[in-house]
Amino acid sequence: MTIKLNRKALTHARKLVEEGKVVRDDRDDWSEHAPSTDAQNAFIDEHGYGDYSEWHLGIDTDKSEDTKGRYSFPFGDFKKVHRCAVISLESRAAQNDHDEIAKATKNLLELIDKK
Best CA proximity match to 68, nearest among 80, 60, 76: 60
Best CA proximity match to 35, nearest among 94, 99, 80: 80
CA 44 to chain centre: 15
Would you state the pLDDT for residue 29?
A: 86
- Domain total for the chain? 1
Higher pLDDT, 25 or 68: 68
Q: Residue 44: CB partners within 8 Å, gap ≥ 6?
A: 52, 68
pLDDT band at 1 (very low <50, low <70, confident <90, very high): low
pLDDT band at 115 (very low <50, low <70, confident <90, very high): confident
Has residue 24 got a pLDDT over 70?
Answer: yes
Output the pTM of the full model.
0.93
Q: Residue 113: CB partners within 8 Å, gap ≥ 6?
A: 83
Return d(Cα 58, Cα 94) in angstroms, integer.
13
> Which domain, by its residues, includes 52?
3-114
pLDDT in tens, 30-58: 888 999 999 999 999 999 999 999 999 99
